[in-house]
A and B are shown apart, each in its own frame.
Chain A
């Protein structure tokens, strides 16, 4: 079960910021989130959106082990 976290405008758009989703891979997770909310699915793949798995940025595909935390990070603003 992956703990999915949304930040910034992605959380506002989705209407949630944390949710548990059963998915074996990042691609499967994206598909599940897009099936539930197509606009969010598109936003998660949008320009500048990065993904962190267990607090480390990943590029491309990743497998999701048990109790993995997946965060979708829109462009960062700086402080």
Chain B
């Protein structure tokens, strides 16, 4: 299986600050690093656990393909994407995205662009477990509209 060193799918909780520190280290030419951390929401008690399913070897390859497009489009120096899979409790980090570029605009925009795609089109299957049972969820209309801004 191809390994994508800039992309991790992990069933273990991760510490976003440590990822950002590592990502920022040892850069002489990068003027800007932008980052985003997505956290699991409790939805006012309606979601007790979020469950994310991926297809290993397919999901990470799809993310890598898209991220390389983003890297070219925004002339990024580098990027780092970490995504939780499995069962995620409210308050835990689900996704970490960091982008490095010469200047801030490209770093901000690339981070936004990657997140819009990850939220709406990345090959994950998401289930919410709550007091009223389980349900599979699909992207919201807002997620789709956000992603279409870049088309």
Contact = CB atoms under 8 A, between A and B. Distances in A.
A12 B125 CA distance: 12
A7 B58 CA distance: 12
Interface size class, chain B: 20 to 34
A79 B38 CA distance: 10
B121 interface: yes
A76 B58 CA distance: 12
B61 to A, nearest CB: 7
B61 A78 contact: no
**In this complex, which of A71, A74, A75, A76 has the most chain B Cβ atoms within 10 angstroms of its Cβ?**
A76
B94 A9 contact: no
B75 to A, nearest CB: 25
A55 interface: yes
Contacts of A71: 55, 58
Interface of A: 5, 7-9, 12, 52, 55, 71, 73-79
B95 A79 contact: yes
Contacts of A12: 136
Contacts of B53: 7-8
B58 A78 contact: no
B57 interface: yes
Nearest to A75: B138
8 contacts: A8-B53, A8-B125, A8-B127, A52-B58, A55-B55, A55-B57, A78-B121, A79-B126
